[in-house]
Structure 1
Amino acid sequence: MQGKVIFIGAGPGDPELLTIKGAKVIAEADVIIYAGSLVNPEVLSGAKEGAQIYNSAQMNLDEIVQMMEKSTSEGKLVARVHTGDPAIYGAIAEQIQYLKNKNIHYQIIPGVSSLFASAAALEAELTQPEVSQTVIITRPSGRTPKPEREAIFRLAEHQATMCIFLGVHMIGKVVSELLTFYDPGTPVAVVQKASWDDEKIVRGTLEDIVDQVQEAGITKTALIVVGDVLGTGRVTPSKLYDAHFTHEYREGEGE
C-alpha cells in the first residue's frame, strides 16, 4: 500500500504551539524530514521509537523528494515538518508539484506562523479599527527575486500594517524604502525568535530602529512589524462589542 506525505506547520518555535493534529502525525510517522535550521528540535520529541529523522537543512530538493518517493513506495508515513505555517515562505509548492507528478498522496496541516507569535509577543492587534484594516506580508528582494510591483517602497504607499520576513539583515535598505511613504515617526518592532525561550524584542520608530537592531545584534530569524497599530495612543473600540451596535446575534441598546 502506498504511503503518504503530510506537510506540518511546526509553529514558530514554542513546542506547545504545535497543533494537536500535527503532533499526532509526528507521533505516528515512520519518516520525519524537518527544517532543522528553523524548527525547534523539541517539536520532534513525540516521535516514535525507530522513526527515521532527517534534517532538510543538509539536503537539496532532489534528495528530499526522492526520500519522500522511496518512503511512500514502501508504505511509510512521511512527516515533512516546516517552521511556522508552510503556506508562508515554506517552499512547499515545488515539493507538492513533484508529489503530484508522481501521484503520491499528500496532505497539509497548517501551523501557527511567527507572524502571529510576534503579534502576541508585541501584545498587538494588527487590524485596529480606524488605524489599519490591512496586513501586508512581504519580504525584501534578495537572492530570491520578487516582482518589481511588489517592491517594499511600492507597498509602503498603502501605509497599512506591514510584516516583513527575511529582511532584518538588510534593515537599513528596508527602512529606506518604507520611508518613501511612511512617516519617520511610524512605530516599528523587530521580534527575533518569537515564542522561543530566547525571544528578543526591539521597539522603535523608522527614525531609530536601524541603530537599535544593530546594537541588539539581530541579523536573522526575525520579523519586522511596521505600522501605527503598534502605537500607544487611544484605541477605537470595534463595532462588534459596541452596546449600541445591532448584529445577527444581538440587538443594540436603544434600537
Structure 2
Amino acid sequence: MVYFVGAGTGAPDLITVRGMKLLNQADVVIYAGSLVNPELLAYTKKECEIYDSARLTLEEVLDIMKRAEKEGKMTVRLHTGDPSVYGAVREQMDALDAMDIKYESCPGVSACFGAAASLNLEYTLPGISQSLIITRMEGRTKVPEKESIESFAAHQASMAIYLSAGMLEELSKKLIAGGYSPDTPAAIVYKATWPDEKAFTCTVSTLYETAHAHGITKTALVLVGDVITHQNYKKSRLYAADFSTEFRQAKEKEQ
C-alpha cells in the first residue's frame, strides 16, 4: 500500500494527525527533500527506509514503491504542502494503477494557508472577495492560455500565486495589465511556517523591489488582494443579531 501524505507547509507540527500516524507506521518513506522539512522524518521508526526524491527520477521513485509492495511493506510518499496542489501525484497514481498497487491520499496544509496564518489573513472577507484563486506563472511547466495571470486578475479576487518568486517583475506587469491597480495590496511570504520565515506586505507594483531588498528569489508565495489590508469589509451576516439560522432566531431590534 502507498500513502500520499501532505507534509504541510514546513513546521513539523503542522502535519495532520493522520499523516503523522502514517509516518509512524511506514516501512518506506520517499520524501521531497528539496521542500519537505527533514524534521518530519523523526516521526518514522528506526528501521524505516528513507529516500530523498529530489535526487530521483519518476521511474526510480516507482521502482522503490514496486519493490516495497513486493516485500509487503507500507510506503509513504511525503509531499510538501498538500499533494493535490502542484504535487505531481496524478502521474504516480496512474503508474500505480497500471501496476495494480493500491494507494490513498492524506491531505496537508498548503502554503497559501500557512501564509495566511502567518499574516492573520482571511481570504474571503464579505464585501471585498468571496473567492481565492490559486495559480502560478508559466515557467518550465506551461499554463493554459485561458488561465493567464491577466485573466485571473480581472476578477479582482484574492490570489495566491505559487512558484513565481523568480519572475516578480513580469508578474507585476501581468497583474496590472489584468486590472489590478499598482497600489493594490500584496504580500510576499518566504518559507511560510518555517523557523526562517519572512513575510512582507507591499503593493502589486513593488513586489520585485520588496523581494530584492530582502534577498528573496525562491520558495516564496505571493498574495494579492484588498483582503491583505482588511479594511472596508462587511461583517459576516452569519453572526448578525437580525439574521436567523437553523440554530438561532433573529433578535428584534431594540426600539
> Does the residue aligned with 1:95 lie in a helix, a strand or coil?
helix
| Matching residue of 1:5 | 2
Distance in 1 separating the partners of 2:124 and 2:238: 14
- Residue in structure 2 matched with residue 130 of structure 1 by the alignment: 127
The residue aligned with 1:71 is 68
Q: Percent of aligned pairs with the same residue?
A: 45
Q: Does 1:165 align with 2:162?
A: yes
Moved more, 186-195 or 206-215: 206-215
2:19 maps to a residue whose letter is G
Question: Residue 182 in 1 paired to residue 177 in 2?
Answer: no
Distance in 2 separating the partners of 1:45 and 1:79: 14
2:213 partner letter: E
Whole-Å Cα distance in 1 between the matches of residues 210 and 81 of structure 2?
A: 26
Secondary structure class of the residue paired with 1:54: strand
* Cα offset, 1:254, TM superposition: 1.3
Deviation, structure 1 residue 15 = 0.4
1:233 is matched with which residue? 231
5+ residue gaps, structure 1, are: none
1:200 maps onto 2:167 in alignment: no
- 2:92 is equivalent to residue 95 of structure 1: yes
Q: Which amino acid aligns with 1:158?
A: H
Q: Which moved more, 1:12-21 or 1:230-239?
A: 230-239
Which runs of 4 or more aligned residues in structure 1 lie more than 4 Å from their structure 2 counterparts after TM superposition?
Answer: none
Aligned-residue offset at 1:32? 0.4
- 1:104 matched to which residue of 2? 101
Aligned to 1:41: 38
| Alignment RMSD (CA, Å) | 1.0
Question: 1:209 Cα deviation (Å)?
Answer: 2.3
1:116-127 aligned at under 5 Å gives the runs 116-127=113-124
Partner Cα separation in structure 1 for residue 75 and residue 230 of structure 2? 46
Secondary structure, in 3 states, of the residue corresponding to 1:207?
A: helix
Q: By how many angstroms is 1:215 displaced?
A: 0.9
| 1:234 shift after superposition | 3.5
Q: Secondary structure at the match of 1:45?
A: helix
1:50 matches 2:50: no
Normalised TM-score (structure 2): 0.97
What is the deviation of 1:232?
Answer: 4.3
Per the TM alignment, residue 192 of structure 1 is displaced from its structure 2 partner at its CA by 0.5
Bigger drift between 240-249 and 202-211 goes to: 202-211
Residue 212 of structure 1, CA deviation: 1.1
Q: Offset of 1:243 from its aligned partner?
A: 1.1
Aligned length in residues: 252
Counterpart-to-counterpart distance in 1, 2:16 and 2:175 = 35
**Which residue in 2 is equivalent to 1:243?**
241
Q: Deviations over 1:111-158 (max 9, x none)?
A: 011110000111110000010001100001110011111110111110
User: Residue 90 of structure 1 aligns to which amino acid in structure 2?
Assistant: G
What's the secondary structure of 1:96's corresponding residue?
Answer: helix
